Structure formats: C-alpha cells, structure tokens
Amino acid sequence: MPQACYQVGLDSPVAEVKLRDDQYTLEHMRAFGMYNYLHLDSWYQDNVYYVDQLGRVMNLSVTLDTALKKPREVFRLPTDLIACDNRLCASLHFTSSTWVTLSDGTGRLYLIHTGKRDDSSYEKWEILFSEEFET
C-alpha cells in the first residue's frame, strides 16, 4: 500500500539546526542529520507538531486521510531560538493526552499542560514548570 504524501505551505520555516564547520563528526551527523522535525502526538495520531524559526509550536492535523489543515500556532516559546549559536534541535514528547515536555534546544526544558489536543478543542498551552540546564 503506498504511503500518503502531503504538501503544505508554511508561514515560517521549520527551526532547522545547521551544522557549524567544527561539527562534522559522525556523532554530529547522527544527532543532526537523522533528526525528524515532525513530532507525532501518540495520543491523537492525526496530529503532528513542529517548531518554526519564530519559536512557535505549530500543529498540523490530517483530516479524513486526504488533506492537511493549515498549520496553526498552539504555543510560543518565551525565548528567541535564533539568538542562540549553540542550539540543538527542539524536541517534543507527548507524555499524556494533556501534557507535553518540550526542550527548546538551548538548554531549557518545559513541562506544559496542553488540555485536550484533539481537533475539536483549542485550549491554551500553559507552562507549569521550566528549568534551565547548563550546556
């Protein structure tokens, strides 16, 4: 069975991390080159998320296995990702149907209450815990 392929225009590009000249080791290639910027919500499998260059967490929702809805902002990071020279890829992990952990790639980890993330609800995501780690 062929895999579905979708195209959608983005207002702002994905927050892609580029390797610097001193980062071309095998470990760097594994960490950066094999990274998927789309994060599947395992609780609501019609939804995927990505972080764009403006620091927004964007949601893409598949409807009826035939189309993608326009990306919508569900959360905005309080820090400027572009200003950090040594950043890594931002990552999301959906820990439950109402919680997500988010690493912004600059050393800050967030625990965020999302509320229900299904198509019919658009609750505001709220940071309940944030910690900065030394990089």
pTM of the model: 0.80
Higher-confidence residue of 125 and 82: namely 125
Residue type, 15: A
What's the CA gap between 83 and 64, in Å, rounded?
Answer: 39
Average pLDDT in the chain = 81
H helix intervals, 3-120: 26-28
pLDDT class for 9, splitting at 50, 70, 90? confident
What's the CA gap between 127 and 22, in Å, rounded?
Answer: 35
What's the CA gap between 2 and 37, in Å, rounded?
Answer: 22
19-53, pLDDT tens digit by residue?
A: 667 767 777 666 666 667 888 999 998 899 999 98
pLDDT score at 22: 73
DSSP code for 69: P
Q: Which residues of 85-124 are buried (b: 16+ CB within 10 A; e: fewer)?
A: eebbbbbbebeeeebbebbbbbbbebebebeebeeeeeee
Choose the weakest-confidence range: 1-5, 47-51, 102-106: 1-5
pLDDT class for 56, splitting at 50, 70, 90? very high
pLDDT score at 65: 64
What's the CA gap between 94 and 98, in Å, rounded?
Answer: 8
pLDDT score at 110: 95
pLDDT class for 12, splitting at 50, 70, 90? confident
